[in-house]
Amino acid sequence: MLFSGTSRTIESYLLDLSHCTEFRERNGVTRRLYTAAWKQAQSLILDWMCEANLDPWIDAVGNVHGRVEGFSDQTILTGSHLDTVVDGGAYDGAYGIIAGIMALGEIKSRQIPLSRSLEVVALCEEEGSRFPMTCWGSRALLGKISREDLALQDAEGVSVSEAMQSCGLSPHEIDWTPSYHYRGFVELHIEQASQLESAHCPIGVVNTIFGQERWNVTVIGESVHAGTSRIVNRHDALVAASEMVLSVYRLAQQYEDKAIGTVGLLQVQNGTSNCVPGHVNFTVDLRAQNDALRESLASELQSMFTECGRRYGVEIVVDPYTSVNAVSMNVELQNLIQKAAHSQRLNTLLLDSRAGHDAQILGTTIPTAMIFVPSYQGLSHHVNEFTKKEDLINGQNVLREVLERAANGMFS
Ligand SMILES: [Zn+2]
């Protein structure tokens, strides 16, 4: 039995949720915040929490919550995010929500007495795929959203506030200083990398979530004739940018175990085949296991950029636009995950997450841990994202046991 009175599999719930997508004609899942597809998914989650007798409710930003009450006023939270990237997969975020509902549904139906309450949440947004913001759902739980966020716009000029209202949510009802007090948070998620698959290990226990920062870099040189200008006189923005891209790559190679850097977007403004490029923009995504290392790599890169600019006679402007610190997971909860896995004869692997998660936000103030299950070939944010049924069930069983143990005093 999964949700009360049904015999559906976790895969069938994932399939149903994957049908809530903006582009039905495409293979991937696209479910951006406050779109019709997102609203449809939110309704499904609400129905499933009802079926599992979790007395669900929707908060002001659209997170869906369900609960099993315990004796004390402390609550252990689980859950993940409901949104996806554009053309993403069926497992990222969705798995942690559905497994959480199933775990709580089973605990509720077995009438297991709980000291602490258990709560599952479908967080409304994490990916940043519609508006220039991320982790809106988990930040809202902590009161880390602001009125300015409501004015942020998507590519069509629709504001967060307008999009909320289109989904029947009222921005005026947002609690800017929420009174949630969670004793712990456990997020179950697909790994999105291939360490577990390579090690033939079913359960990952996350150690640290890498910190990350992103920059917009502008390189301004001089656009001149491709035939008549001498190399020695050029201020070629693209050649300079290319060296900077390589310096990001080489630094990432050098620190491979502890940091990673990527240039994911590069644009030549008004580029034509017969002109020397005069204006180039590119992005830098820099991630590291600890903040001191990230800061030192950031400053090393900026020095390289400055030196490169001097060599090519181009102006360089670095505009950092987002930064999230690295977060260590709670050791007591990590131990609980290991014990739960071992009691089910499942091996565990301690690993870092190089991807950002809601756990990175909630982990700043709530004791937090993450459970990973293997991802086929490490694929994620991809139409072929896949986790085997056996691995899905293992993760869900470990989550249920961790929640039961945490609710009944095996976590201080
Ligand atoms: Zn995710």
The reply to whether domains 10-209+326-407 and 211-324 share a CATH topology is no
State the distance from the centre of ligand 1 to the C-alpha of 211, rounded, in angstroms: 15
Rounded CA separation 226/376 (Å)? 47
The domain spans of the chain are 10-209+326-407, 211-324
Residue 181's pLDDT is what? 84
State the distance from the centre of ligand 1 to the C-alpha of 92, rounded, in angstroms: 5
Residue 316's pLDDT is what? 98
pLDDT at position 250 over 80 = yes
Phi, psi at 291, each rounded to 5° = -70, -35
Phi, psi at 177, each rounded to 5° = -130, 75
Query: Looking at per-residue confidence, does 349 or 321 come out higher?
Result: 349
- What is the tens place of the pLDDT at every residue in 291-333? 999 999 999 999 999 999 999 999 999 999 889 999 999 999 9
Left, alpha or beta for 178 (phi > 0: left; psi -120 to 50: alpha)? beta
Q: Which CATH code, of 3.30.70.870, 3.40.50.2000, 3.40.140.10, 3.40.630.10, is assigned to 10-209+326-407?
A: 3.40.630.10
State the distance from the centre of ligand 1 to the C-alpha of 31, rounded, in angstroms: 13
State the distance from the centre of ligand 1 to the C-alpha of 80, rounded, in angstroms: 7
State the distance from the centre of ligand 1 to the C-alpha of 390, rounded, in angstroms: 20
State the distance from the centre of ligand 1 to the C-alpha of 190, rounded, in angstroms: 8
State the distance from the centre of ligand 1 to the C-alpha of 213, rounded, in angstroms: 18
Q: Are the C-beta atoms of 53 and 109 separated by less than 8 Å?
A: yes
Residue 6's pLDDT is what? 56
Mean pLDDT value across residues 67-77: 95
State the distance from the centre of ligand 1 to the C-alpha of 277, rounded, in angstroms: 38
State the distance from the centre of ligand 1 to the C-alpha of 81, rounded, in angstroms: 6
State the distance from the centre of ligand 1 to the C-alpha of 380, rounded, in angstroms: 9
- What is the tens place of the pLDDT at every residue in 353-400? 999 999 999 999 999 999 999 999 999 999 999 999 999 999 999 999
- What is the tens place of the pLDDT at every residue in 140-151? 999 999 999 999
Mean pLDDT value across residues 170-196: 93
State the distance from the centre of ligand 1 to the C-alpha of 393, rounded, in angstroms: 18
Encode burial over 91-126: b for 16+ CB neighbours within 10 A, e otherwise.
bbbbbbbbbbbbbbbbbbbeeeebebbbbbbbbbbb
State the distance from the centre of ligand 1 to the C-alpha of 367, rounded, in angstroms: 19
Residue 177's pLDDT is what? 87
Rounded CA separation 31/82 (Å)? 8
For the whole model, what pTM was predicted?
0.90
Q: Which DSSP letter does residue 91 get? A: S
Residue 5's pLDDT is what? 47
State the distance from the centre of ligand 1 to the C-alpha of 214, rounded, in angstroms: 18
Alpha helices for 110-191 (secondary structure H): 136-142, 160-166
Residue 3's pLDDT is what? 52
Residue 412's pLDDT is what? 82
Output the average pLDDT for the chain.
Answer: 95
State the distance from the centre of ligand 1 to the C-alpha of 185, rounded, in angstroms: 15
Mean pLDDT value across residues 11-31: 96
Q: What is the band of 1 on the pLDDT scale with cuts at 50, 70, 90?
A: very low
- Which residue has tokens 């899942």? 29
Name beta bridge partners: 371. 188, 205
State the distance from the centre of ligand 1 to the C-alpha of 240, rounded, in angstroms: 35
State the distance from the centre of ligand 1 to the C-alpha of 234, rounded, in angstroms: 45
Rounded CA separation 357/116 (Å)? 25
Rounded CA separation 166/158 (Å)? 10
Rounded CA separation 215/115 (Å)? 46
Q: What is the band of 410 on the pLDDT scale with cuts at 50, 70, 90?
A: confident
The CATH T-level fold of domain 211-324 is Alpha-Beta Plaits (3.30.70)
State the distance from the centre of ligand 1 to the C-alpha of 191, rounded, in angstroms: 9
Q: Are the C-beta atoms of 187 and 370 separated by less than 8 Å?
A: yes
